[in-house]
């Protein structure tokens, strides 16, 4: 069966510099062009607020709101009508004031309250921003968060496991910092950490294996293939074929043995929160962090395109939206045309931004063009 996914309508209210936006769309790629600061990236960010997490800028609920006068801040809202295999669903996210004067996040699907996971299952997405161009030479934390987003797109329960692991880890560290070495209390938290930690690691390993298969199946072309590796205590156990129960038991035992060390360090020094994603340029046999800036971006684009294919071929996932901010930056005309051809072949809609419409001319009539200026959008 042929699958397809696209946003057929997007509305924003008081989001960043967009007071009100209402876009009617078809299934073709969406190209947003205009000067820097016009609000192009804000539109992509609004879409990512429908995914688990804090969007492509990791912003707070208050940061993304459109400022009102100096005494108040407007609540904001994002709504998208999503068409998946011909079936429509309406997704919504926003911020509302609480009676206590705070701000809370709200998520809805077809008018009913929904979890972020339920939204993610209706519209899976992957995004790239210019800040990620140096992902391979940046911090392990950035790579880990990037790979966890890829994992979350395939396994919607991954986010819940990560949240529960973090909660148990913080509580354990609080006890250790207070020198509370109560074995029953700490042991319970360590069993929680080991159970959720094993689930996190297992999901990452399965994602990496599916992604590597999709990378290997790609034809040689404009975007080099990567050889991926996960560096992490639990992930490497799973890669060697260990059973989940054994990984959990051994991790819980390790946590019990290093309580004193972690108390002194002020943090847990072992676990999936310390894992890292590594990559090599397959054709060159060179570590990604040693490649040129252009090669690093090309590797990242190739990985993103492979992720979209892996999701589309996964019976438990499906097509995904691909959002690429400043898509044409650092790409020559040949690579740009190759990127557009691959995006057109993807069953999920692509959203791209650029400073000038001419950057997207290789699409011809195969994409829909919108000019963005000062928070206003018009069809080109």
Beta-carbon contacts of residue 82 (< 8 Å; ≥ 6 apart): 5, 6, 7, 8, 88, 89, 90, 91, 122, 123
Separation of alpha carbons 302 and 46, rounded Å: 25
- State yes or no: pLDDT of 156 exceeds 50: yes
Confidence of residue 314 (pLDDT cuts 50, 70, 90): confident
- State yes or no: pLDDT of 347 exceeds 90: yes
Mapping DSSP to helix (H, G, I), strand (E, B) and coil, where does residue 106 land? strand
Instruction: Beginning with the edge strand found earlier in the chain, give each strand of the sheet holding 320-324 in spatial order.
Output: 124-128, 320-324, 350-354, 30-33, 368-373, 376-379
- State yes or no: pLDDT of 351 exceeds 60: yes
Residue 231: predicted pLDDT = 97
Confidence of residue 318 (pLDDT cuts 50, 70, 90): confident
Residue 69: predicted pLDDT = 43
Separation of alpha carbons 336 and 260, rounded Å: 54
Separation of alpha carbons 159 and 156, rounded Å: 7
pTM score, whole prediction: 0.91
**Helix (H), strand (E) at residue 379:** strand 376-379
Closest CA relative to residue 303, chosen from 81, 135, 105, 120 = 135
Separation of alpha carbons 324 and 297, rounded Å: 12
Closest CA relative to residue 317, chosen from 202, 150, 108, 200 = 150
Separation of alpha carbons 230 and 150, rounded Å: 13
Angstrom distances, CA of residue 244 to CA of 185, 205, 240, 252:
23, 12, 12, 12
Domains and CATH numbers, the chain: 1-27+34-123+367-380 (3.40.50.300), 138-292 (1.20.1050.90)
Instruction: Summarize the confidence of residues 241-258 as an average pLDDT.
Output: 98
Residue 328: predicted pLDDT = 78
- State yes or no: pLDDT of 71 exceeds 50: no
- State yes or no: pLDDT of 197 exceeds 80: yes
Q: Where are the beta strands (DSSP E) in 207-337?
A: 226-231, 276-281, 286-287, 320-324
Confidence of residue 70 (pLDDT cuts 50, 70, 90): very low
Angle at 211 between CA 210 and CA 213, to 5 degrees: 65
DSSP 360: G
**Helix (H), strand (E) at residue 103:** strand 103-109
Give the pLDDT confidence of 101-146 residue by residue, as tens digits: 788 889 999 999 998 778 888 889 999 999 898 899 999 999 999 9
Residue 224: predicted pLDDT = 94
Give the pLDDT confidence of 1-55 residue by residue, as tens digits: 457 999 999 999 999 999 999 999 999 999 999 999 999 999 999 999 998 888 8
Give the pLDDT confidence of 238-247 residue by residue, as tens digits: 999 999 999 9
Give the pLDDT confidence of 80-106 residue by residue, as tens digits: 999 998 899 999 999 888 888 788 889
Residue 140: predicted pLDDT = 96
Residue 73: predicted pLDDT = 60
> In this structure, how many other beta carbons lie within 10 angstroms of the beta carbon of residue 8?
16
Which one is predicted more confidently, 316 or 359? 359
Percentage of residues in the chain having pLDDT higher than 70:
97
Classify strands 103-109 and 87-97 as parallel, antiparallel or unpaired. antiparallel
Confidence of residue 72 (pLDDT cuts 50, 70, 90): low
Q: What is the mean pLDDT of the chain?
A: 92
């Amino acid at each position: 069966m042929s699958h397809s996914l696209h946003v057929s309508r997007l509305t924003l209210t008081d989001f960043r510099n967009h007071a009100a936006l209402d876009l009617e769309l078809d299934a073709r790629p969406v190209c947003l062009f205009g000067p820097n600061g016009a609000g192009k990236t804000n539109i992509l960010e609004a879409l990512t607020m429908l995914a688990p997490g804090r969007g492509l800028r990791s912003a707070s609920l208050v940061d993304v709101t459109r400022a009102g006068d100096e005494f108040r801040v407007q609540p904001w809202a994002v709504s998208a009508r999503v068409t998946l295999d011909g079936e429509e669903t309406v997704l919504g996210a926003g911020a509302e004031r609480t009676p206590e004067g705070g701000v809370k996040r709200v998520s809805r699907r077809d008018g009913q309250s929904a979890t972020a996971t339920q939204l993610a299952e209706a519209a899976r997405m992957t995004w790239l921003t210019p800040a990620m161009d140096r992902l391979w030479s940046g911090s392990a934390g950035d790579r880990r968060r990037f790979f966890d987003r890829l994992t979350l797109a395939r396994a919607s329960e991954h986010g819940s496991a990560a949240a529960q692991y973090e909660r148990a880890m913080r509580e354990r560290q609080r006890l250790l910092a207070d020198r509370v070495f109560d074995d029953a209390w700490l042991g319970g938290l360590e069993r929680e950490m080991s159970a959720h930690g094993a689930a996190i690691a297992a999901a990452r390993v399965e994602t990496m294996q599916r992604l590597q298969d999709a990378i290997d199946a790609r034809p040689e072309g404009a975007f080099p293939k990567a050889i991926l590796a996960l560096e992490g205590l639990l992930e490497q156990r799973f890669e060697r074929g260990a059973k989940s129960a054994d990984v959990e038991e051994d991790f819980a035992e390790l946590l019990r043995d290093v309580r004193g060390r972690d108390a002194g360090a002020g943090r847990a020094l072992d676990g999936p929160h310390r894992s890292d994603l590594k990559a090599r340029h397959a054709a060159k046999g060179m570590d990604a962090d040693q490649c040129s800036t252009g090669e690093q971006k090309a590797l990242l684009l190739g990985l993103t395109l492979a992720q979209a294919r892996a999701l589309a071929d996964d019976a438990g996932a499906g097509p995904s939206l691909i959002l690429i901010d400043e898509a044409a930056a650092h790409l020559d005309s040949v690579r740009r045309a190759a990127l557009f051809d691959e995006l057109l072949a993807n069953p999920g809609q692509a959203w791209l931004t650029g400073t000038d419409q001419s950057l997207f001319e290789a699409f011809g009539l195969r994409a829909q063009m919108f000019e963005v200026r000062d928070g206003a959008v018009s069809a080109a």
